[in-house]
Amino acid sequence: MSDLKTQCEKSFYRELYHPDGGKYALVQDTVSGRIYMRKTLAVFNTRVFAYLQQHPDPHIPRVHAFWEEDGELTVIEELISGFTLDYLLANELLDKAAKGDVVRQICEGLAFLHGANPPIIHRDLKTANVMLTDDGTVKIIDYDAAKVYDASEEKDTVLIGTKGSAAPEQYGFGKCDVRTDIYGVGIMIRDMFPEDEAMQRIAEKATQLDPKNRYQSVQDLARELPEWCFGKYAGGSGAISKRRGGVFGGEHSHSLSGKDFITTDSLPIEEISLPVGTKLHKFWPIPGFRSGKPWKMLAAILGYFFLSGIALSLNVTEPVADTVKNADLWLNRICFLGAELSLVDLFTDWSGIWHRMPLMTGGGKWVKCLGYFLCLTEIVCGWTFVCVLIERTVLMAIH
pLDDT tens string 306-353: 888 888 887 755 554 555 556 677 777 888 888 888 888 877 777 766
Is 2-78's fold the same as 82-248's? no
* CATH number for region 2-78: 3.30.200.20
What pLDDT band is residue 204 in, cutting at 50, 70 and 90?
very high
Q: How far is the CA of 391 from the CAs of 220, 357, 387, in angstroms?
A: 66, 28, 6
**C-beta of residue 264 within 8 angstroms of C-beta of residue 78:** yes
- Residues 3-25 have pLDDT tens digits of 677 777 778 888 888 877 778 89
- Residue 332 to residues 242, 284, 399: CA-CA distances in angstroms? 57, 26, 20
- Tell me how far apart the alpha carbons of residues 380 and 342 are, in angstroms, rounded to a whole number: 9
> Per-residue pLDDT tens for 232-257?
544 433 333 333 344 444 333 333 33
Helix ranges, 224-321 (H): 294-312
Task: Determine contact, residues 27/14, Cβ cutoff 8 Å.
Answer: yes
125 HSE (CA, 13 A, CB side): 30
pTM of the model: 0.59
- Given the candidates 1.10.510.10, 3.30.1370.60, 1.10.3210.10, 2.60.40.1120, the CATH classification of the domain at 82-248 is 1.10.510.10
Delimit the domains of the chain by residue range: 2-78, 82-248, 294-398
Q: Which of 334, 309, 327, 329 is nearest to 317 (CA)?
A: 329
- Predicted confidence (pLDDT) per residue in 178-189, tens digit: 999 999 999 999
